[in-house]
Amino acid sequence: MKICSVYLSSRKDEMYLYVDKRDKLSKVPEALLEMFGAAKLVMDIPLTAKRKLARVDVDKVVAGLEDKGYYLQMPPPKDDYMLDLHKDRPESGVR
């Protein structure tokens, strides 16, 4: 079992970094930390095979921690209909 610290990005909504609690952010590359912004500790959690995480497979997190020393969880894709809300609206034709 590994104890994992989860950090929230100050620059990107819903972007999280998972790291080994003992290492903190020491194994995260400097370029990634710059892009990530200020890291806010959200929680420390034990990682086991039976553990369920909200938006990511626990096996992927464990593999990232073992291979690189961290796992970066990207924000979920925006729904297409939500993107339409931000498109420029055509002129109504009323003058």
Q: CA 69, CA 23: separation in Å to the nearest integer?
A: 8
pTM: 0.78
**What are phi and psi for residue 80, nearest 5 degrees?**
-55, -40
pLDDT at 65: 95
Tens digit of each residue's pLDDT (9 = 90 or more) over 72-90: 999 888 765 555 555 555 5
Q: What CATH number does the domain located at 2-84 have?
A: 3.10.510.20
pLDDT at 32: 96
Q: Closest Cα to residue 8, out of 35, 31, 37, 34?
A: 37
Tens digit of each residue's pLDDT (9 = 90 or more) over 23-62: 999 999 999 999 999 999 999 999 988 888 888 999 999 9
Report H helices in 1-95. Answer: 30-36, 58-67, 80-84
Question: Where along the chain do its domains lie?
Answer: 2-84
pLDDT at 51: 87
Q: Which percentage of the chain shows pLDDT scores above 90?
A: 66
Strand pairing report for 2-9 and 16-20: antiparallel
